[in-house]
Amino acid sequence: MKEKKKILIGTTGGIAVYKICDLARLFVKEGFSVKVMMSEKAAEFISPSVFQAIIHFPVYVSGLPCRDENGLDHLNLAHWPDIVVLAPATANTIGKIANGIADNLLTTVVLALPETTPLIVAPSMNVNMWENVFVKENIKRLKKRKNCYIVGPVKGSLAEGRKGRGRMAEPEEIYKITKRILGV
Ligand SMILES: Cc1cc2nc3c(=O)[nH]c(=O)nc-3n(C[C@H](O)[C@H](O)[C@H](O)COP(=O)(O)O)c2cc1C
């Protein structure tokens, strides 16, 4: 039997985090094994138990011990996935990863990934944040990593009521790109 592809979703404290439930559902429906790790801020926005109900796997939250029933810790978690999808990716987490800062579970796992593991980053933020010179620099730095794909953000209505580029790419788009990169 063909082995299921393994997808690790990393989700951070952006307003688009609720859309990641749909993304996780799409992956599960397709038959992928899905695990979710959340920043503490993401876990303030949406309960980890919502993801747990969708993916049927433990959800890892930064700040809490990272051990599953097999004793899997954060460094093993970095070797588990075939691909990592960081969505929504906040300016904060993008900045940390781009500068090699590993101060929570999520950033530690992303920095500990083998370079051969594709990393999809789907930023989501206010238009001024997206256009900020430091954020732009951080995105450039992320692109230096082998197998790093920046998806979006797209133009549209933003949560604060303005229009502009900053909206996270839609879950269906991220799903299609993930499948394309995995070649399935
Ligand atoms: C209601 C609310 C919505 C937010 N949405 C975003 C967002 O879409 N993008 C972003 O970069 N930061 C956003 N922030 C700010 C982040 O939550 C903040 O920078 C936080 O430190 C991010 O932590 P994390 O990257 O560890 O998840 C938002 C904050 C609040 C209170």
Task: Determine how many CB atoms are found less than 10 A away from the CB of residue 66.
Answer: 19
Q: Note the pTM of the prediction, 2 decimals.
A: 0.94
* Whole-number average pLDDT of the chain: 92
Question: Does 65 fall in a domain?
Answer: yes
Question: Does 52 fall in a domain?
Answer: yes
Tokens of 67: 């051990």
- Give, for ligand 1, the residue of 46, 92, 103 to mutate: max count of ligand atoms closer than 8 Å to Cβ: 92
Residue 144, CA distances (Å) to 21, 68, 87, 115, 127 in order = 29, 32, 19, 11, 23
Report the C-alpha gap between 102 and 129 in whole angstroms. Answer: 22
**In the chain, how many domains are there?**
1
84 touches 60 (CB < 8 A)? no
Tokens of 103: 């101060």
Buried b / exposed e over 134-156, threshold 16 CB at 10 Å, is ebeebbebbeebeebbbbbbeee
| Nearest CA, atom 28, ligand 1 | 14
Question: Does 163 fall in a domain?
Answer: yes
**In the block, residue with structure tokens 């949406």:** 46
- pLDDT value at 42 more than 70: yes
- Give, for ligand 1, the residue of 38, 41, 97, 124 to mutate: max count of ligand atoms closer than 8 Å to Cβ: 41
Instruction: Provide the residue count of the chain.
Output: 184
Question: Does 132 fall in a domain?
Answer: yes
Question: Does 12 fall in a domain?
Answer: yes
Kindly give the distance from the C-alpha atom of residue 89 to the centroid of ligand 1, in angstroms, as a whole number. 9
Percent of the chain exceeding pLDDT 70 equals 92
Helix axis angle for 171-182 and 20-29, nearest 10°, is 40
Q: How confident is the model at residue 3 (pLDDT cuts 50, 70, 90)?
A: confident
Verify whether ligand 1 is closer than 6 Å to residue 90 (CB atom): yes
Owning domain of residue 130: 6-182
User: For position 48, which CATH number holds?
Assistant: 3.40.50.1950
Question: Does 74 fall in a domain?
Answer: yes
Please confirm whether the linkage preceding 123 is cis (ω < 30° from 0). no
Tokens of 180: 């394309």
Question: Does 1 fall in a domain?
Answer: no
| Nearest CA, atom 19, ligand 1 | 92
pLDDT digits (tens, 9 = 90+) for 98-114: 999 999 999 999 999 99
Q: How confident is the model at residue 164 (pLDDT cuts 50, 70, 90)?
A: confident
Q: How confident is the model at residue 51 (pLDDT cuts 50, 70, 90)?
A: very high
Kindly give the distance from the C-alpha atom of residue 13 to the centroid of ligand 1, in angstroms, as a whole number. 4
Verify whether ligand 1 is closer than 6 Å to residue 42 (CB atom): yes
Question: Does 111 fall in a domain?
Answer: yes
Provide the 3-class DSSP secondary structure of residue 152.
Answer: coil
